Structure formats: C-alpha cells, structure tokens
Structure 1
Amino acid sequence: MPATLQRLPAIPTATKSAGASAEVRTLIDVLIAEQKQLQTPIARYSDYHDREPDLAPHYRTLIPLSKPGDGEQYAFEVSLDRCTGCKACVSACHSLNGLDDEEAWRDTGVIRGGRDTPGWQQTITTACHHCADPGCMNGCPVGAYEKDADTGIVRHLDDQCIGCSYCILKCPFDVPKYSKKRGIVRKCDMCHQRLAEGEAPACVQACPTEAIRIVKVARSMEQGAEGKRKAPSFLPGAPDPSITLPTTRYVGRDIPESAVSGDRESLVPQHAHWPLVLMLALTQAGVGLLAGAQGHEVLTILATLIFFAGMGASVLHLGHPLKAWRFFLGLRTSWLSREILAFSLFAPIPPLLAALPYLPEFPFKALIASAASYSVIPLGLIAIFTSVMIYHDTHRTSWRFPLTAARFFGNAASFGALAFLIARPSPLATLIFTAVVIGKMIPELRIIRLSDDRNADWTPDIHTARLQRGPLGTVMDGRFQIALIAIALSLVNPWLSLPLLLVSELLERQLFFQSVYAPKMPGNFGPARAAH
C-alpha cells in the first residue's frame, strides 16, 4: 500500500456550513493525485534523455569495456524482472539493420507457469544466442557461418549463402530468418560493428528499462553424466539447451520448472517446403522403381524421369542455386552436403541403365550394365540414408530416426514392390506390395491415435497428432484413402496403382513437414506464424 494511503485518517463525510463549502479530500482524490505522479519506464527514460542528451557514457555501462579473454565470449544477459514486453528492442533492431517488413532478428514472447503455477507468466525477449556449438554453422553446407575467434559472435556470411534454409531447421531456437527478397537467410550478429567501436547494440540501447545488456561468459563445453554435454542453466519452457549450448543468460526472476511457452499448443501447420516434398518423394520413388524394375525397359525409363524430376525440384528450394557447387565445404559437419554428394554419385546410374538397351554393342557393355544394376540398391540406400539423417539431425521429435527412416525407406520399398509386381506379376508379388504399403502406414497411424486421449500431457508427438487430426485432417484422410485405393487397383492393373501411390506419398511428405512440432523460443498466446 502506498505511504500516502497509510497516513490517511478515516475518510470524512462532506459537510457544508452556511454560506461556505468545505472541500473534503476523499480516497478517490488521493488515488488520482498519486497516479499523476507515477511514471512508466518509458516516461522515466524520456525524462532522463531530456536531462542528459549525450547518453554514450550511460550506454557503455551496458557493455563490457574490454574484449573477452581466453575461453570467454560475448553474450546477451536479459533481466526478466525488468522486461515489460514493450518491443522497443524489436523495433530498434529492425530499424538499425534495415530488415524487410516481415523480417525480425529479435522477438518477444511469453512463458506461463504451466500446471503447477497456472497464474504465473513472464514476457521474454530473445535473439540469437551465439551458441558455443552452433547448429546453424554445423549444418550449413557451404560454410556461410563463422564463429568469431575473439568475441564468440556467430555471424552469417550473406554473400556465401545459397538460401537452402537448412540452418533454420538445425537451430532449435528458430533464430535464422529467410529473406524472400534476397533469397538468403539472415540473423542477429549482436551488432558486432557497434561493439567493436564501444557502442551498445541496437536492442541494448533501445531498451528503456535496461533489461538487455552484453556480458562476458565462459564458452567451455562441460561434460555431464554418461558423456553428455552439460549445458549452462537456461530458460525453462525453451528448447533443450544441450543441443547447441546457448550463451544467453536469463536472470532476475525465479522461473517455475513447469513453465512452458505461451504458444506451445497453438495448432498452426508449419511451412510445407513443397520443393523438398517433391524432391524427397520423387527421388525415393525413382530409387525404388529402379531397384524393382528387373531390367524392365519402360519401368527403367519411368524411374529415371521420376528421379530427375525430384532432383530438379530440389533446386527450387535454393535461393541461389548457382552457388550450390560449393557443397563440399560442409562435408565434415553437414548432412545436407553429404546428401548432395550421395545423390550426385547415384545420379548417373538411372540414365545409364535406361540408355544401355538402345546403344550398339561395344566392349564391356555387359560388364557396365551389370555393375550399374548392382550399384542401384547400395548407392540408393546410402543416398536415402543421408536424407534421413538430415532431418534426424535437427532434433525434432517427429523427425527422429525410426520414424523418418520408416517413411523414407518405406517410400522406396513401396515403389520397389510395385515395380516388381508390374515386371513379374504374381499373387505373391501382389501380397508383398500390399504388405509393404500397409506396413509403411502403421507408424503413421500409431502417431495419429495419440490425439484420442484429450487428458494426456502435452508431448511433441501429441501435438503432431492433433495437427493431423485438426487443421491437416483433409490431407491425412486423402493420404490413407488414396493409398488403400492404390492397393485395391493393384489387383486389377498395377499400372493404375502407380500414379495413385505417387499422390499418396506426396501427401504423406506434406504431412511430414507441416505437422512437425518445430522447437523455438517462447512466443505469444496467439497463433504462431509458420516458419519458412
């Protein structure tokens, strides 16, 4: 209770004497007078700015005055008890860095207390965490990221970027942002040019409550139990910090361990990534058809066309495809680089097998045909394995290895079984095709059934199931119904099953991307915006 109210005597009643009126101060009068004296953080900041026009010395108290020493780096420190969610930091970052209208390198969100403390909530401001082991840098196939040896700042090299967006998938905090205007990814660089001149970053300088500052922290990677990396204390309700070891420090207020992101349960489908949908479904279908063709000339030609249609679609996902030749720069750490290499090694085989029957006889023709035929399965499996690892390596629960492998290898196996049925029709071949297609759908159905229990605690798998039963229900129904029709038509004419199976697998791959739970920093209570 304010001190002015504590000193108030009992509220008198208004009295009037004859010929004069006495003004009596009521409790409401006191409260109104007190409100006139209160100032918001913005107003106090404005008054201070008016009194001290040159604020450079003040801002230098919010950044270190010396460079990090050995084993140290710069990091953001956020005082939770000072953050009001005013978004001044977001606006300043956007203005200073000249970002596009829909582009933001700093965001604000909300975490709430969860079941244990349902009335608790806290606003959060977040940008790049300049991790000790950056996922974005490790995943980039062309070396478009670097971690500064002196400051530890993780910088994105715009002129090297090919716009593949794999760093967006690799970052568990949804930090890199795709710029459609430029066809590349960009992100926060802690205003490193300003820091080099002793000036505070835009977000630090703009915060009226001084909730953001730059500090020096250790960047060592400690080992925990069972050899796992031990991450520093981070933010309850945020993604697992052990994945990349973020350096941002959140201080100033105790957070309940049950705290969760305010938008965790928003059922908003993710970006469909249509070029990747086509690339994955068609290349795997082409590998399967080629493996099961058994020398069938028409099937071999069709498999070649489908495979290269998928390869062509993959180029559409790149903002700067002409720079993709530098993929070898990321072979040591990036599964995307390894996928490009694996499919490049496989690519000559389909056209070679399709062309050999029509070429005149020449020495070693039979040997070349035999070597190419025997290479289809091992090289095809290796290429598909690299695709599996690309998504497993993002640490998204719905893309974990068993589920992703079942989808990707199951796709190739389904088309391989169908090709075998077309090339060697028999009741046994029909039974194998039916078993493979149904077997591939079983893991998908097991995930969908999780949505039936409305009282179950939230998990990423339940989130995926609710997306597929809710906003993506039409796509899910179409995927299974068309697959069953393809099985039925295989009893009549297996050629009729081919286009239907292809459509079904394209819908399955759409669900793969759109129904995944994508980890990110806490957002608002409203619907989250799907990332590129």
Structure 2
Amino acid sequence: MIEENVTPQKTASTKIPAADDSGVESFDPAKEAVGKEQEGRSNHWEVRTQEQSYAFLPDQEVKEENRYGKLIDLVDLTGLPKERPMYINENPEVGSNPNRNKQHGFFFTADNCIGCHACESACAEKNETPAHLAFRSVGYVEGGSYPDYKRMNISMACNHCDDPVCLKGCPTRAYTKHAEYGAVLQDPETCFGCGYCTWVCPYNAPQLDPVKGRVSKCNMCVDRLEVGLKPACVSACVGNALDFGVIENTPENREQCKTEIPGFPTPEITHPNIRFQQTRTLPNEMTRTDSMPVKYHRNEKGQYKPAIDQKAGKAKHWNFKRLNSRENPLVLFTLFAQAAFGVFLIPFLGALLGIEALSSFVASDMFLPLTVTSLAMTTFALLMSVTHLGKPMRFYRGFNNLRHSPMAREGFGLALFCTGCALTSLFLLPGNEYLVTAVNNVTSIDLVLLTQGLPLDTLVTGFGIFTLLAGAAGLFYMNKCYQIKARPFWNHIQTSTAFAGNSLSLGAFIGGIIVLSTLTVQGKAIDTATAVFASVFIFGMLIEALGLIKHSYDLNRSENEGGAAHYIQSTTFGKTYIFRNTLLALNIIAATSLLVLHLTGTNDAGLLVAWTLLALVNCFTAAIGRALFYVLVIPTTMPGAFFWRNKGFEQHARDIGLADNPSSGVAPLH
C-alpha cells in the first residue's frame, strides 16, 4: 500500500528559534558541523548543540525482510527514485539520512517504562495538540495481590503498519504510506471528519478532534528523521523505554524483539511496525484501570489474550438515555437507506417476476410517487450521513478512495441508487396521466409530444434494474463498512442479517401502504399483494432474529472485545436488550398468525389495523436495535489510565462539570 509521494500534507514541526531571537543556541547543519554525528545533515530541523548522542539514529546493518516477509527497503518494493523530497514545511531539500527509504518503527521496552509521561509531553509540545488529544499516550495494566502487585505501562502511538487499514478505509485519501521511512502520514486538511479511520485502527492512533471536526495523528517526526534525529517522544524518554530505528533491528542492550505484550491487540490485523521487550514476570491475569470491561489472561503458550472483566456486575438495567449518542445521524442514515431500498425493491422485483398485482401497480400512475418516496428517503439518509461529518461541506471528498474504501463505495452506491430513482421517475412522467394533465393545464409543455418515439417502458425497466443493482451495491458496502476486525462486536454475520432484515421489514411496511392503498382505490383485489408484503415483512424480521440468536450464541462463548460488548449489552442495557428481543419475537408470532388468517380468507379492516400496529412496533424495535448497535461496540483498543482515555472518567467529568475545564482533557460534545 505504499503510494507515490504526492506530498499533500504539511508535516508538523517545532522550529527552535535562533540565538539572536531568544537566546536558545542553534545551528544550521548544512552550513556548519558540530560534532561527528551532525556532519553533512540537511536543514529541515535546526538541531540544537545540546542534542545528546542518544537522540541520533544509529546507522546499523539492515535486514532484507521483516518477520512478515515484507521488504524493509521500500524503494526496492516500489521502484521509486531514492532521492525524492518530502517537502517538509514546504522545503524541497532531500534529507541526509542514509536509511531514509527503509521501513522504520518504534521499539518499546516495557520493563523500563516508569509512566512519567515525558513522551506524551514531548509529542504534545512538538505537535501543539490540545489537551483532549494525544498522538502518543501512556496506559497501563496491573495484576497480582499484595505484596506481589505489579503494573506494566504501555506507551503507544501510530505504528506505521505494513498494512495500514486507516489508509484503505479513509474515503478522502487523506492517508499516504511513504517510501521514506515507511511513515503513514495523514493530511488533516484533506480529512472531512467522518472518523472511519478511528474505527478500523486497532491502536487508537488516529485522533478525531470534535472541536475542529477532523482527524490528525502521529507523523513519525519525519522532519527530525531527515536530519538523523529520533522522534521527539523517543528523545524525551527518561527511562530508555522507547527507541526507534529501522524495523527488526534490536536496539543495543536489548534481548527481545516481540510483536505483542499484554494489552496490545493482535498484530495480525495490520502488521504494525513496533517491537517489544518485556522480561519481568507478570501475574497470569492483568486488568485495566479504565472502565473497559476487558482484562488479559495468559494462556498455555504464555500469550496474554483478552477476556471479559465483569466490572459492571450482573444486574440488568434500562439506560434508555444512554442510547442517545454521537452516532444518532448514522442510526437514521442506515435505517432510512435500507428502508428506501426495500420500498423500491419489493414492488419492482415482484413485477419483474410476474406477480400480477404488483405488475398492475408498477404500470399505474402511483409507481411514480413510490419511486419518488424511495428517492426522498435515500436523500434524507445521505443528508444524515453528511451531518455526521466533522466538516460537512467537504462531503464531496467521500468518493476519493473508491479503489479501497468500503465507505466511499457505500456512498457511491447510494448516490447511484438516487440517480437511478431520479431517472426512473423522469421516464415515468410522460406516462403519468394525472401529472401530464396538470402540466398541460399550467404550461404549454406537452410531455407526451416531447417524448414521442421514446421506448418509455423499456427505459423505465432498464433504469429500474440499474436502480436495484446500485442499491444492492450500496447496501453491500454498507455492510462491509462494519465488518471490521478491530470491532469484533460488528464483525459478525448479525450485521448483515440486521441490515438486510430491516431493509425488507421496513420496506414492506412503507411500500405496502402505497401499493395496497393504490390497488384498493383502483378496485382491484389486494389478496396476493397483501400476502407478498406480509411474507416479506415476516421474512425480514425472521432473518434479523436468527442473526441475533447466532450473535448471542457466539459472543456468549467469546472472550474478546466482542464478548465484552455483549456483556455490556446484557447488563448495562440488559432490560432494553430483552425488551427489544421480546418485541421482535412477539411481532414475528403475531404477523405469522395474521398471515395465516389472511390466507384462510379473513380480510377485514381490523386485520389491516393489526398489520399497521405490528409494522409501527417493528419501526420502534429497529430504532432501538440500531442505537444499541452503535453504543455497545468495544474496539480492540489500547489500555488507558484511570483518568486519561477512560470513557468512564469522561462521562463522570461531563456529569459533574469537570469537563468544562479544558485541562481535564475531555473534549466538549459538538
């Protein structure tokens, strides 16, 4: 995924003032050399004369491949020219680092980390991040019992992975993996603040700023690397816990080069460029001090794997208020988009399959209002997705990464669905008797004359099929957006069954109202059409229910973050979860009974009222289910501290007003 460096970003840097400005002694290594280490270096960074020897990158022998079989020399991998400028701070000069085209990475020695947070401070100072953001943060896990109680600190930033899922997921192409140092860099000015990269990254590296409405992240301090200096966080580490260099090179006085330690998500998701040493004996079970219901248990191979930590107890609660979240626009977006597809799908596909009642409806004037309804619902859904963005006016950038991003493909598919609905409606206009009459009465335009000679029926059928295919593609990639390895609660077939089930059940409700009322006014039999919509309605709820059963079965036996999310679902939202599932089950039973009554010849007004009530209940259960879907998910995240990066503390700070103090590190909700 290494792309040609088109240098869209401006790497952050802190320029040390010259001596005549503020008295801080500095020099330009391009003009003078002070010490052997600094000879011949370029002038991207004014290197202080006080810079210690440990702050400089060593020139070591480099291996050909990393442990995943990936070439370390990235120029050999890409065939790009070696001497390319990175335009750091708009400077076209090429750095003097002899290993600038090799994949670099961090080395963290957990035994040495004392949790002083100097790395955090140095990073924040260099990148001028606000209090509620940190490109590097220190969390910890602890375990054991007195007097043998141990704590292990973990300092973590972006790992500049071999397979950066943030780059593939970003719809705006704000990310680039550079052949220089293998750095995964992100341009905040290109970003429109969707936050999808924060979903797919297992390591909390991309930081979504709710104040500025955009994402930013660690840039590997490439400006320092160009002059042979290690990143600011590494140079500031007082315990010699952080080191940096060409990947797979074990630093001096180290004996291990592991790919994971307790609390670190599986490296198989992205192949991160970080290595660890942790030699001290730890207890078999390590817990987190934050509110996340996850702990880490050592298996027979000596590896620490996530397990559920029942911090919230086993009592069940309602917590309806907590269903309200920042993702509310996405709740509306997904439900409306799925329902809109179902509204168009059922009658049009039924007509293609030769169902007489639905063929009669599609041939009637009311097929135009149904298509327009589907168009309006999808337009509203897309509007909701835009309001979720940090920079809504940049929504057009969402199609920049169609090559890789499922989110870009989702938006493109739904945009094509809207286009298909609009074109189908356009060619339905001349055949709509009521509309033609109204236009003739108001204007001198003769729609029939304008379209004379056009194969309108063929065009309507052709664009209708195009609309179905575009909508199916949009919903397919909507599902792919949530099949994320970093979020096991979503990465399950239940996501697919919920999306498909809601599309059918909600589409059957809205489409059924339009179709059945039209056939009734026309004096045509509605028995067949009622049976079709009722069957689709029941089938949609049934596949959603089967997905929920499978989901519960799998996550009850899971010890990863998906199981932890299900634990929260069964406790913190336990009563709400049971209520939703009970309503869904009763709805399926009641709807099946009504369908049996209908098929045996019972057709009265009371039956239609009952169908309407069941459909409204289904809308309610779908809304609850989708809100739970967003609120519950627990990512494969890095451990936080008691205050910093602790969702429980953030909520407490907002409840008591502490969040009003910017130094608390809790961002205001916008």
Q: Work out whether the TM-score is over 0.5.
A: yes
Q: Which stretch of structure 1 is more off in the superposition, 456-465 or 489-498?
A: 489-498
Q: Which stretch of structure 1 is more off in the superposition, 473-482 or 180-189?
A: 473-482
Q: Tell whether the 8 Å contact from 1:285 to 1:411 is kept in structure 2 after alignment.
A: yes
Q: Which residue of 1 aligns with 2:270?
A: 244
Task: Mark the CA change 1:459 to 1:520 in structure 2 (over 3 Å): closer, same or farther.
Answer: closer
Aligned residue among 461, 464, 470 for 2:562:
461
Kindly indicate whether residue 44 of structure 2 is the aligned counterpart of residue 60 of structure 1.
Answer: no
Q: Which residue of 1 aligns with 2:114?
A: 84
Q: Which residue of 2 aligns with 1:418?
A: 509
Kindly indicate whether residue 547 of structure 2 is the aligned counterpart of residue 443 of structure 1.
Answer: yes
Q: Report how many residues are paired.
A: 464
Q: Tell me which amino acid in the other structure corresponds to 2:267.
A: P
Q: Tell whether the 8 Å contact from 2:501 to 2:542 is kept in structure 1 after alignment.
A: no
Q: Which residue of 2 aligns with 1:279?
A: 333
Q: Deviations over 1:188-239 (max 9, x none)?
A: 11222233234443322332222212221159xxxxxxxxxxx972334321
Q: Deviations over 1:474-516 (max 9, x none)?
A: 5435544554676658844344555543333222222222212
Q: Which residue of 2 aligns with 1:321?
A: 392
Q: Tell me which amino acid in the other structure corresponds to 2:335.
A: A
Kindly indicate whether residue 370 of structure 2 is the aligned counterpart of residue 306 of structure 1.
Answer: no
CA RMSD of aligned residues (A): 3.5
TM-score (norm 1): 0.77
> Could you tell me how far 1:393 is from its partner in structure 2?
4.2
Which SS does the other structure have where 2:548 is aligned? helix
Task: Mark the CA change 1:258 to 1:215 in structure 2 (over 3 Å): closer, same or farther.
Answer: farther
Distance 2:280 2:385 in 1: 46
> Could you tell me how far 1:340 is from its partner in structure 2?
2.1
Matches for 1:238-387 after TM superposition, within 5 Å: 238-253=264-279, 262=288, 263=290, 265=293, 272-293=326-347, 294=358, 295=362, 296-297=366-367, 299-354=370-425, 356=428, 357=432, 358=435, 360-361=447-448, 362=451, 363-387=454-478
Distance 1:344 1:300 in 2: 15
Distance 1:457 1:525 in 2: 26
Matches for 1:143-158 after TM superposition, within 5 Å: 143-158=173-188
Q: Tell me which amino acid in the other structure corresponds to 2:206.
A: P
Q: Which has the higher contact order (CA 8 A, sep 6+)?
A: 1
> Could you tell me how far 1:260 is from its partner in structure 2?
5.4
Task: Mark the CA change 1:265 to 1:317 in structure 2 (over 3 Å): closer, same or farther.
Answer: same
Q: Tell whether the 8 Å contact from 2:260 to 2:275 is kept in structure 1 after alignment.
A: yes
Q: Tell whether the 8 Å contact from 2:258 to 2:276 is kept in structure 1 after alignment.
A: no
> Could you tell me how far 1:400 is from its partner in structure 2?
2.2
Q: Which residue of 2 aligns with 1:12?
A: none
Kindly indicate whether residue 538 of structure 2 is the aligned counterpart of residue 434 of structure 1.
Answer: yes
Which SS does the other structure have where 1:155 is aligned? strand
Kindly indicate whether residue 572 of structure 2 is the aligned counterpart of residue 471 of structure 1.
Answer: yes
Q: Tell whether the 8 Å contact from 1:449 to 1:465 is kept in structure 2 after alignment.
A: no
Q: Tell me which amino acid in the other structure corresponds to 1:60.
A: A
Q: Tell whether the 8 Å contact from 2:213 to 2:390 is kept in structure 1 after alignment.
A: yes
Q: Tell whether the 8 Å contact from 1:478 to 1:507 is kept in structure 2 after alignment.
A: no
Q: Which stretch of structure 1 is more off in the superposition, 309-318 or 58-67?
A: 58-67
Q: Tell whether the 8 Å contact from 1:139 to 1:336 is kept in structure 2 after alignment.
A: yes
Q: Which residue of 2 aligns with 1:517?
A: 634
Q: Which stretch of structure 1 is more off in the superposition, 404-413 or 245-254?
A: 245-254
Q: Which runs of 5+ in 1 are unaligned?
A: 1-52, 220-230
Which SS does the other structure have where 1:330 is aligned? coil
Kindly indicate whether residue 633 of structure 2 is the aligned counterpart of residue 529 of structure 1.
Answer: no
Which SS does the other structure have where 1:243 is aligned? coil
Q: Which runs of 5+ in 2 are unaligned?
A: 1-47, 61-95, 250-256, 295-310, 313-321, 348-357, 437-446, 516-525, 595-606, 651-668
Which SS does the other structure have where 1:215 is aligned? strand
TM-score (norm 2): 0.62
Task: Mark the CA change 1:245 to 1:71 in structure 2 (over 3 Å): closer, same or farther.
Answer: farther
Q: Which stretch of structure 1 is more off in the superposition, 402-411 or 314-323?
A: 314-323
Task: Mark the CA change 1:146 to 1:253 in structure 2 (over 3 Å): closer, same or farther.
Answer: same
Aligned residue among 209, 212, 228 for 1:179:
209
Task: Mark the CA change 1:432 to 1:182 in structure 2 (over 3 Å): closer, same or farther.
Answer: closer
Q: Tell whether the 8 Å contact from 1:77 to 1:248 is kept in structure 2 after alignment.
A: yes
Distance 2:537 2:402 in 1: 37
Distance 1:450 1:337 in 2: 30
> Could you tell me how far 1:421 is from its partner in structure 2?
4.6
